Structure 1
Amino acid sequence: MGRASTSETACGIGVASTAATAVGEAVSELKAALSGDFQHIIAFFSADYDAAALATALGDAFPQIAVSGCSTAGGIGPEGLMESGVLLIAFPRDGFRIHTGVIEDVGAFSVERASEIVRGLKAQVGLNSDSPIAERVFGVMLVDGLSNAEEPLLAAVHWACGDMQLIGGSAGDGLSFDGTSLIHEGRLLDRAAILMMIESDFPFRIFKTSNFEPTDIKLVVTAADTETRTVHELNAEPAAREYASAIGLMLDDLGPFSFASYPLVVKVGGDYYCRSIRNMNPDGSLSFFCAIDEGLVFTVARPEDMLSATARTLADLDRSLGGVDLVLGFDCVLRRLDAQNRQIRRKMEDLYRSYGVVGFHTYGEQLNAMHLNQTLTGVAFGARRGAG
């Protein structure tokens, strides 16, 4: 049996990861690596594990601790980027209080149901503080990354949260796009989301970083299936062919790396947001990670220096908190592919390790009411209780 990789934090959050392929061996390694009085564990795992067996094994290994989590398109662990394996992030009882709820059938979710679930979680939040709730509580949501339901779900939940900030990510299954998994307290969930409210005695900052610059090239969606997020035509031409022409590639050269290197963005309220391509279909259409509609105007973008942009954001967080202790991050899978394509993967790993970034590669990132692509969103914790 091997050993899990771990990292130390001043705030008491335990982090452990393993690349063991068998569920039993992986969970045994993780249990041996984590020591402390924990109240909640967030698990991120690659899709090659049996999610139901993993949920059961984690419940047996940590019987007094709630476990929530999801499958991923890759992890960010103490040793760097993980294309397979299990990562556990364990929150201690001292300094944190975590309240969770499950949102069933995300495709039929309503504002009324959002209000009910959020109100129930808020009622559990401690009231013995003079500081506003937004300064001591934030939300984390994990959602089925193939549900095509993130936008209305996020809008409803964020509206119900009020001033409290919300972050999270869409579960993945590598680059297969066949099916994602969520687990919660021993249950395997389907077409669902997990909402957590995290109270922290340690200072925290919610953040987003991206690295793309719009060009002058425009592509208008002229035929689409909004329910499946599939674009059939751009500028009244077959979508994949028109996109390939716009970025100067042959149709046969399109794939995940070109989608990562030439993102499509839309302008919302003066800012540009990615609407990234998931895959090209046999009929020449393009499927997207985010909601699309006919008449939508895409702008072709080109990435700026991802390493420098991410380093600036993390340095700003470090200054703001008087030192970053740990970052829980939700990083788009296309950013990982772009880092590999530009041969900066190891430098990104070094940067993440230097700031204690852990988390997973997503099919979409969340920031308050926005469902995003090709960003890193998350929460950074400071090391000094009550500071910041």
Structure 2
Amino acid sequence: MRVAASALPSTRDAVLEAREALGPGDYQHIIAFFGIDHDAEALSQSLTAAFPGVSVCGCSTAGEIGPSGMMQGALILIAFPHKGFRIHSELLTDIAHFGVERATQAVREIKSRFSPGTERLSRDTTFALLLVDGLSNAEENIVAAINWALDDVELIGGSAGDGICFHRTALIHNGRVEQRSAVLMLVETDYPFRVFKTQNFEPTGTKLVVTGADSENRIVHELNAEPAAREYAAAIGIRTDDLGPFSFASHPLVVKVGGDYYCRSIRNMNPDGSLSFFCAIDEGLVFTVARPRDILSATEAALSELDQALGGVDLVVGFDCILRRLDAESRQIRHQMDALYRKYGVTGFHTYGEQFNAMHLNQTLTGIAFGQRVVPSEA
């Protein structure tokens, strides 16, 4: 596996620089993560020309993570060789109407490319990667449906972003550019790997009940029967006018599911005082205001555990919530996070949401860590 990054503003030049940095190789699949300053159509065409015969997929981001750490507006390429990997992918369109039947059909189609008649794949050697349009409001349904269809195979992934504009995201798949879509990859590998998630918040005793909401569009109008933004601001002790991405990152809202807490993060405050969310919401939902723990120590503990379990990490493909990045910046520890990501070989992108098996999450780092490939017959 090889990783390359380019910060050049020209899309064509960025692709050429990243290709040069990857060097020659027998690549079968490339994943591209790219900033919104790159035109998706031009990027897709340039990647197809630069890597003829190689399957290429990817998505726009809310920020990128490359070999040097966190970036903005860059191009990241992760190249998978033929040796040690078998990768097949499928473009899933119109995901607003995606259900179990379509998920089963898509997963069955990908499985058939590994071996005709294959119904089950081993979770010890196979995992699934899912990239989803982060503005589709459909992540929960598609993640749950695909996870069900995968049986025992673990699922990991992230929701595409466009900086913090919340206007237009893009997914690319073998020359096509789509919105309101997803890309599903099924990966079989000889490399040891671990799927993981880590989060750095803890609940307080402050509760906020959703008493007025537009569930379809993930907008909360009222909390505790008061205007949502005003009630949230009062709960965290700041003025409504001071609400913004950094306060949302520092004071996440969480819900309790099966004994554990999961973030339902705020995306933005609207002019009418309502709050838009990254995750599904509904009236009657009880939020708990949370406070962040030390993001550095929590992340290092998770990565160190992976490193020990794998006997050394070769590469981590990570899906890191944009709110974690904003929180690190507001606490002025971005450089320490960069150093930590470099230490453990983390590459990936900042997301509008993270996928972990059947769950669509916020304010987490999810990902897959690879160890060194060991094949006895080649020893």
TM-score range, shorter chain: over 0.9
Alignment-mate amino acid for residue 179 of structure 1: R
Q: C-alpha distance in 2, partners of 1:23/1:377?
A: 28
1:187 aligns with 2:176: yes
Partner of 1:90: 79
State the one-letter code of the partner of 1:290: C
Q: Unmatched 5+ residue regions in structure 2?
A: none
Counterpart mapping for 1:255-266 below 5 A: 255-266=244-255
The correspondence for 1:306, drawn from 279, 282, 295, is 295
Does the residue aligned with 1:272 lie in a helix, a strand or coil? strand
Q: Give the one of 284, 302, 309 matched to 1:295.
A: 284
Structure 1 counterpart of 2:329: 340
TM-score, structure 2 length as denominator?
Answer: 0.97
Question: Helix, strand or coil: the match of 1:133?
Answer: coil
Q: Which residue of 2 aligns with 1:5?
A: none
Matched, 1:37 2:31: no
Aligned partners of 1:324 and 1:352: how far apart in 2? 12
- How far apart, in 2, do the equivalents of 1:380 and 1:353 lie? 14
* 8 Å contact kept, 2:190–2:373: no
Rounded to whole Å, the distance in 2 between the matches of 1:177 and 1:246 is 25
The amino acid that maps onto 2:8 is: A
The separation in 1 between residues aligned to 2:174 and 2:88, in whole angstroms, is: 12
Contact map agreement 1:232 1:239 (CA 8 A) in 2: yes
Q: Distance in 1 between matches of 2:131 and 2:205?
A: 35
The 8 Å contact of residues 245 and 267 in structure 2, kept in 1 or not, is answered as: yes
Aligned residues: 373
Superposed CA deviations along residues 27-74 of structure 1, whole A, max 9, x for unmatched, are 111121122110000000001111001000100110111100000000
Counterpart residue type for residue 103 of structure 1:
L
Q: Specify the SS of the correspondent of 1:384.
A: coil
- Of 359, 362, 374 in structure 2, the residue corresponding to residue 370 of structure 1 is 359
Alignment of 1:194-233 (within 5 A): 194-233=183-222
Q: Percent identity?
A: 65
Q: CA deviation at 1:192?
A: 0.5
Matched, 1:25 2:38: no
Q: How does 1:102-181 map to 2 (within 5 A)?
A: 102-125=91-114, 133-181=122-170
Distance in 2, Cα, partners of 1:306 & 1:30: 30
Residues 90 and 70 (structure 1), Cα distance of their counterparts in 2 relative to 1, 3 Å cut: same
Match status 1:320 vs 2:309: yes
Q: In structure 2, what residue type is equivalent to 1:19?
A: A
Deviation string, structure 1 residues 302-359 (Cα, Å, up to 9, x no partner): 0000000000000100110011110000000000000001111000110000000000
Q: Which residue of 32, 48, 60 maps to 1:59? A: 48
**Structure 2: how far apart are the matches of 1:181 and 1:374?**
21
CA–CA separation in structure 1 for the residues paired with 2:145 and 2:52: 33
Equivalent residue letter for 1:23: T
What code does the residue aligned with 1:256 have? P
Partner of 2:345: 356
Whole-Å Cα distance in 2 between the matches of residues 348 and 385 of structure 1?
30
CA distance in structure 2 between the partners assigned to 1:260 and 1:386 by the alignment: 43
> Structure 1: how far apart are the matches of 2:300 and 2:175?
37
